[in-house]
Structure 1
Amino acid sequence: MAGEDATMRSRLARSVVRYLTEAADHPYAKLIDARRDDALDIIDVEVEPELAQHRKVAIAGHEPVRIIFAGEDDAAPHFRSLREDFPIGEVHTNLNRGADGLGLCIWEENWHDLSRTLTGQMLIERIRSWFSLMASGRLHGEDQPLEPLISAVSHTIVIPAGVVAGPWHVHHLIKDRGVYTLIMSETASTEAVESSFAIFHRELPPQVHRGLADRPYSLGDLNDLLNSLGVDLVAELTEWLTAPEQTSKATERQLLLMLAIPMQRTAEGPVEGVEVWVYTVGDTLAALGEKLGATFTQMVGASRLTAKVLLQSGSKPDLSEIPLPGWRVVQRLNRRTARIYAATLRTEDAKLVAIGAGAIGSNVVSNTVRAGIGQWTVIDDDSVLPHNTVRQTQIDLSVGFPKAKVLCRDANRILAEDSVSAIVADVLDPGDQADGISAAYAEADVVVDFSASPAVVGHLSDQTIRRAASFFFSPDGSDLVLLAEDGDRRHRLDELEAQYFFNVASDPFLDGHLAAARADRIRYANACQDLSRPLPPWRVQMLSGLAGGQLIDLVDLPDPAMRVWRLDPSSGGLLPVILPVDTVHRFGDGPIRATVTQSVVDAMRDHREKAAPNETGGVLVGTFDFVRGVVHVLGVIPAPSDSRQAPTYFIRGAKDLEPLVQVLGTATAGRLQYVGEWHSHPDGAAARPSADDEKVFEHLRSHLDPVGAPFVMMICGATDTWLRAGWDERGRLEGVIPHDAN
């Protein structure tokens, strides 16, 4: 079967085949068959799970499994038990056996995120672990939500809370991309009430600002004031009252008088603002028209009709007897005036893109709109569900609608100026929205990820944009994290994310930061991945408010940022942790890429100097993205105590090494891993691989290449550090980091 993997389109399928046929260590699984069926890759394997003597579920010592891969790995594989007598009705399986076996639910994680680090070895081990947990009865924990009895369908009906009785009325019917959401209500919807005001609007000639005039209390007072400004208000008002559109409803409406006066600092200067006066007359238009001698009203049948007075009597009305209540005028805000009220120091707009309209995204977008900052494009492909309303700005009336559109609608109601547009799409699979997303990226000053998705972080790092940033919460919602590229993008978002994970593992101020990475999950619906974390709304709003303020400042700051704010739920206090941003050395722009932080080089040089004249070495730790082919080298572990060191050779020991690497992985929810080896060369010897070094690299390749993981070897010399990285079928790359002369 060694050559079969080359015919498969799925990279993950090829990785599984290589692992099962080439791995140096026994994989406790064997390959039965591998074939391609049109767009699908199908692999049949037999796994050997670890089993206790007493089993709660009848799992066999050898379990045949079929794995069905999507050709381009753009969807999660499907798993089928090929065992004819596999137990029916267990949780995390299908109830009925299909033509190609009984369906097994191996994981609940989001595929885009899981696929970042999923190798062939990890996939096989995940299957083995699934069978082991099933056999022991621990696959579904007592604290986990119950599994659904039937699978969910695409259309949705949302019923009122409380007693499920009715009668109900259809409140909304939404059709989005072929999927219906039916929103029910206990009461029928009503139409808006028509306004009872008739508006008379007049813009006066521009006026130079001056001392205050007396406030007019009657139509006479106002008319006299306007006469001094060159306007005969009563004459214009009389003509307006006699127009047919006013006389037709004169008995039902009253006057709303609006006067706009452009204001100048000097007669020659520009208009700097508009002052608005608003008045009403308590009578109807018909009564006002009769007082002015302009109209009369009479009964015609059962209706009261108003008509124009054709002959003027010659007597002048007493305008002082017509009271004119004035209104307080408060101007609506646009972004410019909102910035004044919000004490926002920035005076210019910024064009921003938000990926994600959830807990952080919806609150930050709303807060920054209120602060007068940002012309946002919000990108999200999800719809509002009832549990979202606990911590997002969307309310119950928005359930069923696309989150992006709801946030757009609601945010654009905050000010009198639209600030938000929406794109309903997944940035990782944009479909027909790809051009719109690309255009938004190209125009944005900052593209901000609110999705808490490592896949999105990687996506943004590879895009041609001006700058990217990411805000997300720790798993328990007590901490806020900010990662922000610099204006020149010398530090890409995925590189900052990698450094953040290394800091989580090494900074004592961040102990327990990711401790709840897989705990406290609530099932909010009846589909397999319908899981959410409980987050108190006050924490969400407090940390989101902080995120909004930080984003406003970030727009004008050119430097990279990596910060964590830790919230003490008891006191409400925040501990800011500013993490150092390290210089990054990049290598490769093809199927394999590698980055090395300057701290790694500095640490190797320090260990080399202390061990001189002997050689020394250790292991490299970092993170990697299996889908994008990127490995980040972040830290070094020095030589274990049982290592052998001499001026001409170094043999690394293993004492206490594995537990140390495991501690780093546990602290970062599995993100930090072993990625390779390093050693030093003495003065006078180039930092280039010797024949023995080539054997070390071949050893790395033979053990890690079949597994699907990247492998890195680095040699630290007197004047530079040499690097070589290899990875599965992607090939290898080499690079050199010159040392600082100082």
Structure 2
Amino acid sequence: MTAEAAALTSKLAQSVVAYLTTSADLPFAELTGIAVRESADLLHIRLEPELPQHRKVPILNHEPVTVLFDKSDEEPPRVFSARGDFPVDLDLVHTNRDMEADGVALCLWEEPWENLSRILTGQSFVERMRDWFSRTARGDVHPADQGLEPLLPGTSNTLIMPAGLPAGPWHVVRSAEVDKRYTLLLDAAAPSIPPPLSFALFSMQLDPVVHGALKSRPYDFGALAALIAEFGVDLWETLRPWLLAPPQIEGAQKFRALLLIVIPLKRSADDAPESYQIWAYSSLGTLAELGEHLGITITAETGGQMQTAAALGGQPADLSQLLLMPWRVVQQLDRSLAREYSANQGSTDATLVAIGAGAIGSNLVVNSMKAGVGSWTIIDDDLVLPHNIVRQTQTAQAVGVPKALALAHDASLLIAEAGGASSIIANILKPGEHADAIETAFTDADFVIDLSASPAVVGYIADHSAVRRAASFFFNPDGSDLVVLAEDADRKLQIDEIEAQYFLASGADPFLARHFASARVDRLRYANACQDLTRPLPPWQVQTLSGIATGRLLAILGDKAASARVWRMDPATALVVPVDLPLSPTKRVEHEAMRVSISNNVVHAMQALREERSPNETGGILVGTFDLRRNILHVVAALPAPPDSRQSPTYFIRGAHNLRPIMDALTQDSAGQLQYVGEWHSHPDGAAARPSTDDEGVFSHLAAQIEPTGSPFAMMICGAEDSWIRVGWAGRGRIEGVIVYGDDE
């Protein structure tokens, strides 16, 4: 390794250098220079793209680029053409003119960097650059069904104007600032002023009574007073000091009285009250008219104004002539009543954290609050924009407001009980000053639920020690499938391990065929920035599946087992078919630099194939998914030996017939998540499941072939009593472990 390479800080830059300088395969690229700056690591690379004979854009056989890497890899690398005659006059799409660097910047991705960085190895990064030049030469770098590119890049501040023709005048009716990003909402109408109160409230509580026969409803003050006298209370005497109090005297000409009489009810004389009855009556006239009829106050003109004061020796008029208006009283929802009305069988509150307040997040939170599940803390740093209204619960009044704040506000209004919902306006992956608040929310929560459809977020909550239990709810790309993954109550099977087994099912289970087929349906551009893309989702489809998601949440809250379930909807018929995905316990091997999880079904598959082919040795390839940011490898499948393999009692040589199509299909059907991660083979009875000299040679070959690419590589040996595993990973060293049979817990 050169001194320049050793000085690189970016792990992605290191991976690219390792791939270009040590790969056993031809990388079709050449490293031509390294530079280390205070702000970034630089690599100069000459690419050799695959080019058509007739090129729509004059891309050369060798294209020089300069790549600027963020030293912490927190931001995506920037790629610039180093050609002085690069055809900028063609106004190529997926490029931009960067004033801070010398050259034309190439737009290589639209995916969020938090997710892409998890799986972007040095090899895949180089191949992505080569592919960009190849597609540009062919003229298909920008698909015909994708929205037009913007003429100018977007900015971080937002001004939201009324729809239709831009004809003023306008008023700023709302503003928001999140992480120094400002949003102003304009409207043609000025903000409205809340109307003044029109009632003055009087309330009193009687002594508890045993419930009994219905009484006749009174409709005048005399009848009401007579009924209350049966409970030993003089309504006139009780009302007198209230009417003479300053607030009522001062508002006597403006307000009407609203009388609330509360009666605790109990089942028998010795029981405690079980419920409360509330009688409500309002006066037809003002407080001044009520007080004068009762002989408590008098109103007269003084100095040209009407003044109300206490009556001296006044006598009430005929109280039966003082009509009152009765009100039907319906109690506001608390969580207990909400559970009753919604047929929620749960009996206790739950404290929940929602990460994401988008399509499924907003509907799930609102629906669950209506079902009385408990309280939510909602974490999201995005703002409500006009296109969100199609599939979220917010209305146009929330446009320009942080999604978390708007959802918490709306959810809290559903239940008349404190602690309904609160918000943390933050990016969960970059919490900054909100880290302590998020830590507290996780610590207090019974369940932390990912609603972001982001594998990076799943990894974050899987690793967080404060999380008691985690789940993930999301739609597939075209919104026709609902996926719900949930940990067990003891977190023996963590959410990222469940996710890895879900990826295996998406690639191998016929029921999930084409589950990820529309992984690039986000072609609809809602604004004028490169990543301002959204996925068109029918609101009725979102609401249907979100309703199912809420029902599943209620079930999970009462079930301690881990689970993975997918509901597939036929949009044409609205038929929804559910399927439970089988989950396997995992074994973990880890040290400070990496963690490896191996599903038990991998071990069981190897055992079954070993038994089937005995006394011959057998083997195959290992399939898994990995996270470069978290240094985690999940091994989820062991495939059988291809038919051209050589098997005998003393050796095994794996063949390759039809293996590449099988692996390519798994990768494609899982949206790129499933990868080849190594080899496995069996040892016969009497031979320990430990590497022989030949096995060490195979592992060295794996290291030579795979380590330069930046991907992890594994070898497993299946024996009679246990299985052995070794994993290597560039920059992370080696790790070994043993899995003893019969220990499935």
Normalised-by-shorter TM-score class: over 0.9
Q: Does 1:92 align with 2:94?
A: yes
The answer to whether the Cα contact below 8 Å between 1:2 and 1:21 also exists between their aligned partners in 2 is no
User: Counterpart of 1:41?
Assistant: 41
What is the CA deviation profile of residues 387-417 of structure 1, one whole-angstrom value per residue up to 9, with x for unaligned ones?
Answer: 1111011111111111111100000000111
Matched, 1:195 2:219: no
What CA distance in whole angstroms lies between the structure 1 residues aligned with 2:730 and 2:712? 7
Report the Cα offset of residue 54 of structure 1. Answer: 1.7
SS in 2 for 1:729: coil
Q: Give 5+ residue unaligned stretches, structure 1.
A: none
Q: How far 1:660 sits from its partner (Å)?
A: 1.2
Alignment identity in percent?
A: 52
SS in 2 for 1:706: helix
Structure 2 counterpart of 1:341, which letter? Y
The offset of 1:541, in angstroms, is 0.6
- SS for the counterpart of 2:731 is helix
Instruction: Find the aligned partners of 1:25 and 1:200 in 2 and give their Cα distance.
Output: 86
Residues 639/310 of structure 1: CA separation in 2 closer, same or farther (3 Å cut): same
Separation (CA, whole Å) in 2 of partners of 1:686 and 1:244: 93
Task: Say if 2:512 is the partner of 1:513.
Answer: no
Deviations 1:349-390 (A, max 9, x none): 011111101111111111111001021111111111111111
What is the rounded CA distance, in whole Å, between the counterparts of 1:293 and 1:603 in structure 2? 92
Look up the match of 1:451.
452
The equivalent residue for 1:562 is 564
Residue 424 of structure 1 and its aligned partner are, at CA, apart by 0.8
SS at structure 1 position matched to 2:114: helix
In structure 1, C-alpha distance between the alignment counterparts of 2:271 and 2:92, rounded to whole Å: 82
Tell me, yes or no, if the aligned pair for 1:2 and 1:18 is still in contact at 8 Å: no
- Post-superposition Cα deviations, 1:205-257, rounded to whole Å, max 9, x if no partner, equal 33333332222121111111222212111123233323333232322221111
Counterpart secondary structure, 2:667: helix
SS of the aligned residue for 1:705 comes to helix
User: How far has the Cα of 1:14 moved from its partner?
Assistant: 0.6
Do 2:178 and 2:381's aligned partners in 1 also have CA atoms closer than 8 Å? no
Aligned to 2:52: 52
Q: What per-residue deviation string (whole Å, max 9, x for no partner) do you get for residues 271-306 of structure 1?
A: 322221110121222222222222222233543222
Counterpart Cα distance in 2 of 1:729 and 1:108: 28
CA deviation profile, 1:587-634 (whole Å, cap 9, x unmatched): 114212211112211221222222222211111111111111111111
Superposed CA deviations along residues 554-595 of structure 1, whole A, max 9, x for unmatched, are: 012011101100111122111111111112111114212211
Shift of 1:520: 4.7
Q: Secondary structure at the match of 1:191?
A: coil
CA shift for structure 1 position 262: 2.5
State how 1:665-684 maps to structure 2 within 5 Å.
665-684=667-686
8 A Cα contact 1:591 1:629, kept in partner: yes
Distance 1:176 1:609, change over 3 A: closer
What is the aligned partner in structure 1 of residue 377 from structure 2? 377
The gaps in structure 2 that reach 5 residues or longer are none
Q: Report matched runs for 1:614-693 at 5 Å.
A: 614-693=616-695
Instruction: Determine whether 1:292 maps to 2:294.
Output: yes
Say if 1:645 and 1:245 are closer, same or farther in 2 by CA, change over 3 A. Answer: closer
1:65 CA displacement: 1.0
The answer for the alignment partner of 1:350 in structure 2 is 350
| Equivalent residue letter for 2:242 | W
1:727 Cα deviation after fit: 0.5
Other structure's SS at 2:46 match: strand
- Partner secondary structure for residue 723 of structure 1: strand
1:462-501 superposed matches below 5 A = 462-464=463-465, 465-501=467-503
Structure 2: how far apart are the matches of 1:466 and 1:252?
55
Shift of 1:480: 0.4
Q: Could you say what secondary structure the match of 2:213 adopts? A: coil
What's the RMSD between the two structures over aligned residues? 1.6
- Tell me the equivalent position of 1:400: 400
The alpha carbon displacement at 1:470 in A equals 0.4
Counterpart residue identity of residue 94, structure 1: N
Q: Does 1:275 align with 2:277?
A: yes
* Distance (Å, rounded) in 2 between the aligned partners of 1:509 and 1:63: 44
Structure 1 distance, partners of 2:373, 2:316, is 55
Q: Secondary structure at the match of 1:246?
A: helix
Structure 1 CA distance for aligned equivalents of residues 414 and 322 of structure 2: 38
| Partner amino acid, structure 2, of 1:511 | A
Structure 1 contact 349–374 (Cα < 8 Å) conserved? yes
Q: Does the Cα contact within 8 Å between 2:569 and 2:575 map onto a contact in 1?
A: yes
Contact 2:4–2:36, Cα closer than 8 Å, also in 1 = no
How many Å apart are 1:316 and its aligned residue? 4.7
Residue 136 of structure 1 aligns with which residue? Answer: 138
Q: In 1, Cα distance between the equivalents of 2:389 and 2:511? A: 32
* Map of 2:423 onto structure 1: 422
Q: What CA deviation, in whole Å up to 9, does each residue of 1:58-77 have, x standing for no partner?
A: 21111111111111111111
- Count of paired positions: 740
2:410 maps to what in 1? Answer: 410
Residue pairs, 1:131-170, within 5 angstroms: 131-170=133-172
C-alpha spacing 1:725/1:244, structure 2 compared with 1 (3 Å): closer
Query: What is residue 107 of structure 2 aligned with on the other side?
Result: 105
Q: Which moved more, 1:153-162 or 1:703-712?
A: 153-162
Aligned residue identity for 2:16:
V
TM-superposed deviation, 1:694: 0.5
Matches of 2:741 and 2:199 in 1, distance apart? 78
Is 1:28 aligned to 2:39, yes or no? no
**Structure 1 residues 656 and 206: alpha-carbon distance in aligned structure 2, compared to 1, 3 A threshold:** same
Aligned to 2:233: 231
In 1, Cα distance between the equivalents of 2:633 and 2:243?
Answer: 77
Distance 1:99 1:499, change over 3 A: closer
Q: 1:317 aligns to what?
A: 317
SS at match of 2:413: coil
Distance in structure 2 (CA, Å) of the matches to 1:96 and 1:74: 20
Query: Residues 612 and 96 (structure 1 numbering): CA distance in 2 closer, same or farther, change over 3 Å?
Result: closer
Q: Which residue of the partner structure matches residue 436 of structure 1? A: 437
What is the CA–CA distance in structure 1 between the aligned matches of 2:607 and 2:524, rounded to whole Å?
48
Q: Which amino acid aligns with 2:434?
A: Q
Q: Distance in 2 between matches of 1:77 and 1:129?
A: 16
**C-alpha contact (below 8 Å) 2:484/2:564 kept by paired residues:** yes
Per-residue deviation, 1:741: 9.7
| CA offsets 1:24-67 (integer angstroms, 9 cap, x no match) | 11111111122321242111111111112221112111111111
Q: Which moved more, 1:227-236 or 1:20-29?
A: 227-236
Contact 2:486 2:495 in 1 (8 A): yes
Q: Offset at 1:325? A: 2.0
TM-score, normalised by the number of residues in structure 1: 0.97
The 8 Å contact of residues 97 and 103 in structure 1, kept in 2 or not, is answered as: no
Per-residue CA deviation, residues 99-124 of structure 1 (Å, 9 max, x unaligned), is 43221111111000001111000000
Amino acid in the other structure paired with 2:437 = G
Comparing 344-353 with 237-246, which one deviates more in the overlay?
237-246
C-alpha contact (below 8 Å) 1:5/1:18 kept by paired residues:
no
Q: Match for 2:602 among 593, 600, 603?
A: 600
Distance 2:671 2:101 in 1: 38
Shift of 1:192: 1.0
Q: Is the 8 A contact 1:2 1:17 kept in 2?
A: no
Q: Deviations over 1:408-455 (max 9, x none)?
A: 000000011131111111111100111111111111111110000000
**Does the Cα contact within 8 Å between 1:483 and 1:497 map onto a contact in 2?**
yes
Q: What's the offset of the Cα at 1:98? A: 4.7
Matching residue of 1:213: 215
